[in-house]
Amino acid sequence: MNWDRLIEKAFEGMEKSYAPYSGFRVGAALLAKDGEIYTGCNIESCAYSPTICAERTALAKAVSEGERVFKALAIVSSAGVDGGYTSPCGVCRQMLFEFCGEEMPVVLAKSKQDYQVVLLGELLPRGFGPDKLGKERAKCE
Ligand code: THU
């Protein structure tokens, strides 16, 4: 699989990052089933806790446009080539698990040439997913 385009879009997302408190800029690109790519960036708050991560920004943009089926996610950050690969926080893993299967590839990229691919199920093993609610879930669909 060639991840160039998705990584490129994640870097595009990172350009919009609003991170004046941490200085840690993050970008994400979520590939939907029809080929559409939704980008996201982290958006921080002076009250700190309302901060939203790049991954959830991308997911919220996609879901709010009616998209619920995803094929892959790429994540980049300003830690870039010097730091490690940026992996989603626990809250984002849970939220991604809501819509994306355990088999969905997550591309942790420093650049188009330097990246690692992990599956969502490896990031959140034995995760609690919507199927666990059984019938209750049907009420929200
Ligand atoms: N952050 C993300 O946007 N995604 C991640 O995968 C890790 C953390 C953001 C949240 C906060 O704005 C900054 O990075 C430092 O934690």
Distance CA 10, CA 4 (A): 10
For ligand 1, pick from 17, 22, 91, 94 the residue to mutate: most ligand atoms within 8 Å of CB. Answer: 22
pLDDT of residue 137: 55
Catalytic, 122? Answer: no
Residue 88: burial class (beta carbons within 10 Å; 0-12, 13-18, 19+): buried
Among the listed residues 22, 21, 26, 20, the one whose alpha carbon sits nearest the alpha carbon of residue 40: 26
Among the listed residues 62, 103, 108, 104, the one whose alpha carbon sits nearest the alpha carbon of residue 85: 108
pLDDT of residue 1: 84
Distance CA 63, CA 66 (A): 5
In this structure, the strands spanning 26-32 and 37-41 are antiparallel
Local confidence band at 138 (pLDDT 50, 70, 90 cut-offs): low
**What would the pLDDT profile of 93-131 be if each residue is shown by its tens digit?**
999 999 999 999 999 999 999 999 999 999 999 999 999
Which residue's C-alpha comes closest to atom 3 of ligand 1? 53
Separation of CA 137 and ligand 1 centre (Å): 29
What is the side-by-side order of every strand in the sheet holding 70-77? 37-41, 26-32, 70-77, 105-109, 115-119
Among the listed residues 15, 65, 17, the one whose alpha carbon sits nearest the alpha carbon of residue 37: 65
For ligand 1, is residue 24 a contact (CB within 6 Å)? yes
**What would the pLDDT profile of 54-82 be if each residue is shown by its tens digit?**
999 999 999 999 999 999 999 999 997 67
